[in-house]
Structure formats: C-alpha cells, structure tokens
Structure 1
C-alpha cells in the first residue's frame, strides 16, 4: 500500500536545494514557496535543508528558517545552528580519492570553512568559486576534508574504479543529470543518514517525514522518508517517490495545499 501524505502534526519537511527548493544554481526561494513555508512554520511544521552544497545561500536560510541544515550531501549536520555531526575523510581515503586519472579535471575540495580548487590551464574559476574565495588545491590540508568534487567528461569510469576499490565511500553524480560531475563524500555521508539524524534530534520518527528531491544524491533520502516527493522526472528516483511535481515552480502551490490541509485539522 502506498503511503499517504500526512495531514497532521508532528511533521518534518526535508528539502534538497538545487532543482527542488530553488531553481538550479539559484540563490533565492521563489515567493510562493517562501510564503507557504512561513505558513507551515507557524503551524508547527519542522523544516530541514539537506543539500549537496557546502552552504546554503543566506537568502535561502532567511526564507526557510530551518530547524536543521545538512550540507555536503548530508555529511555535515547542524541542528538549531549547532554542529551535530560531521563526516571527514581519513588521510588514506583522501589520498585514494585524489589519485585520479582524469587529465585536466577541475577538482574542488571542501572543508567546513574552506574551498581548495585545482583548475587546468586556461580554465577560469566558476563564479561560485570566486564568491567563496577559493585557494589552490596544493594548499589543502589532509585532515578535515568533507567533500571532493570532480568536473570532467570521464568521471563515470573513475567512479566505477573508485566504487570497486573503496566501496564504503559515497559517490553521487557521474550519471544524468550530472554526467560530467562526480561528488565523493566519506562513509555514511549521504542524505538518508542526514535525514535520520535530523529526525532523531527533533524527536520525530521517519514515518513523520516528507522528503523532496530531484537528483541521484536524493535517492537515499527519498527511500527512507515516510513520504517522498520527486521534483522532475529522473527515472532513477521514480520507484522511490510517492508523488511527482514538475519542478521548483510547482512546489509553492503544493506546500500551500499542505498548509490548507493542516489548518483544516486545527
């Protein structure tokens, strides 16, 4: 029997960012979505952001006012603004991840408060790299690393090799819709684990969670949530979704409808 969307409290809503809560590479929550989230907060709904980014934009934080934020694909979890859990590579794992065969790949290495980038000759940094104030990869520490990203047409082959040699690491991307982008995070650093930690910290069962996502790194979160809403039509996620929305532009109306239902139970 397929689960039904809960229409009473307690309730935790967990959102991916890009392609879900905001348009891809966006920096603001659309107005209708922000208005619906404000209604839901006032009703007592708990809110979480669970993203592959290393930090949500300030405007997004202000619009959502989340009870919890998980970044780096779930590897770093904050509850009420305080660090709750953080997964880091061991030096040996980091060495294996960086021992790649991707000639002229762009590589980004993330710590909790730093970004280190290796750009091939002739490649300009992305705007988000410039905004973060990146430093050369050669200056990156060998401890405290939370996430490594690769940008290269050959990431799928590298991902297959790394999965074979280090199956405990978490790999996302290297397939549609991110065929040339691979993210690697430490063992246990995935969105499903983050959703579980957040629900436990807020005193909720997973049955009282609703997860929203659009890409392969959301799969674990959608699998574990009591109710799963897919944004878009990625075939990989369809078997795990109870419901589908066209994209971020449809989310506001959906959340307003949920708020209407909760108010009707009051």
Structure 2
C-alpha cells in the first residue's frame, strides 16, 4: 500500500477556499472527506481568527479533531466546541512600534470567539465577527492572541520592504503575499510549533505528517511536515520550503495533493 499521512494540516485561505471566503470547492471537499474516511487526523491550520475558522469546520463536518487558529495561538476542539488552548500577548509594545513604522496603518486585536477591537477603521469585510473601534489606551489594555495590521493605500511589496529585518518586541510576525496585511502572534508561536505539539499529543510519528499551504505563515508548517505541499500560486519562497508543488487554488490543487495520498 502506498504511503498515507496520519496527520494532515490544511491552510484555509488560498488553499481550500479563495482568500477571505467560506466556499470550499466540491473537489476539495470530497478529497478532505476521503482523507477523514481513511482515518487521517485532518487539522485546519490557519491564520484566521476562531470566528472566521468555525464556519469552515462546520461546513466540512470535521468532528473529533482540533482546529489551530490565529497561526497556532488558539486551539479549538471540534468535538467539545470549546477553546482548549489560548496563548495571549500584550499588544501595546508591537502596536507602538508598528504605528511609527507604518503611518496610516489600522490595527485589530482578536477577542477570541467574538470579533475584534480595532484601532482605526478597516475596509468592510476585512474582519470576522463584531468589530468595536476603540482608542489606543483601551486597545493596549487587553491581551490578545492575534494582532493584525493593514497598511492602507500601500502594496504588499511596500509592506515587505518596510518590515525587512524588523524585530517586534515579544512577538512573532508574518506577512500576507496578496494584501498589505501583517499578522502578529505570541513569540515562538507558529503553525509549525503548534502542529508539532499536537502531533505529539496525538501520538503520530513525525514521518506520518503532511501539510498543504500557500502563504508566508505556512513556511514553518511546510518545513515541519514530512511531506509539505505548496499551492501553485504560492510565492517562490513558500514553494522552496515545500517538498512538492501542486496546482493553484483555481485548479483545486489541494484536492490533487490529497488524492495522491488517499485516492480519488
């Protein structure tokens, strides 16, 4: 019998859904279902907040597994329908640094399961859940598991150039390759680190793991997996971190990769 992973980590945006949307293509949905039927632990591993992840979990009918949200800072038990782990940080120091670096940027701090506090106004549809605009003092007062920044009127390339070699106090950050968007997580937390801890808890061997993703926040996950697959539209740096490259999101590339392991 050909090799099949026992733990499959799937990014959401740009991998199983178009960015910012909730519709999973029929071929991808069917391929995920086959992986579950073969007994694989299918884990959604995403930069999305919990409130943006839950509709995908429910739509796919994933039960008895864990969804890793906010780049691994928030763990959602899909059977218990409860947060079983949450790592927070103080948003004040990184926000103060980023306000100087990115004039005109707007910021949002996740309120897990509900929405966001925002510092400035985001474009409609950018954030999931309830959004409450607050002043700097209130924004800094509440720890969060996920901080995001959008540099209004700038490009992803401008943001990447401005953030080159920047270290933010006490946190880890990643950039989006399609929008001028930056995501901040607690220091040392990534999709890769969260998946390694989950793998050990599940008792899955390191060489029985696979992952599929398309973004810069997927690099650690792709390197973590015994077999990492980058989507066809992923930036070159992401593809270089993977063991293989599949089709694009428009070509149902995630389904192609999953069907290689679990059959069509």
Same fold (TM over 0.5): yes
> Equivalents in 2 of 1:250, 1:240: separation in Å?
17
State the match for 2:261 in structure 1.
258
State the match for 1:68 in structure 2.
66
Q: State the TM-score, normalizing by the size of structure 1.
A: 0.82
Alpha carbons 2:209, 2:225 under 8 Å: kept: yes
Aligned-pair distance for 1:85?
2.5
State the match for 1:171 in structure 2.
173
Tell me: CA distance 1:103–1:204, structure 2 relative to 1, closer, same or farther (3 Å).
same
Q: How does 1:1-266 map to 2 (within 5 A)?
A: 7-8=3-4, 11-55=6-50, 56-63=53-60, 65=62, 67-80=65-78, 81-90=81-90, 94-99=91-96, 100-101=99-100, 102-113=102-113, 114-119=115-120, 125-129=123-127, 132-138=129-135, 139-140=138-139, 142-152=141-151, 153=154, 155-156=159-160, 159-160=163-164, 162-163=166-167, 166=169, 168-173=170-175, 176-178=177-179, 180-232=180-232, 233-248=234-249, 249-260=252-263
Aligned-pair distance for 1:158?
5.7
Q: State the TM-score, normalizing by the size of structure 2.
A: 0.82
Alpha carbons 1:75, 1:188 under 8 Å: kept: no
Unaligned runs of 5+ residues in structure 2 are none
Aligned-pair distance for 1:191?
0.7
Tell me: CA distance 1:214–1:70, structure 2 relative to 1, closer, same or farther (3 Å).
same
Deviations 1:32-53 (A, max 9, x none): 1111221221221110001001
Aligned-pair distance for 1:185?
1.2
> Equivalents in 1 of 2:241, 2:123: separation in Å?
36
Aligned-pair distance for 1:133?
1.8
- Over the aligned positions, Cα root-mean-square deviation in angstroms equals 2.4
Tell me: CA distance 1:192–1:215, structure 2 relative to 1, closer, same or farther (3 Å).
same
Alpha carbons 1:119, 1:125 under 8 Å: kept: no
Alpha carbons 2:4, 2:262 under 8 Å: kept: no
Unaligned runs of 5+ residues in structure 1 are 1-5, 262-266
> Equivalents in 2 of 1:145, 1:191: separation in Å?
17
Aligned-pair distance for 1:125?
3.5
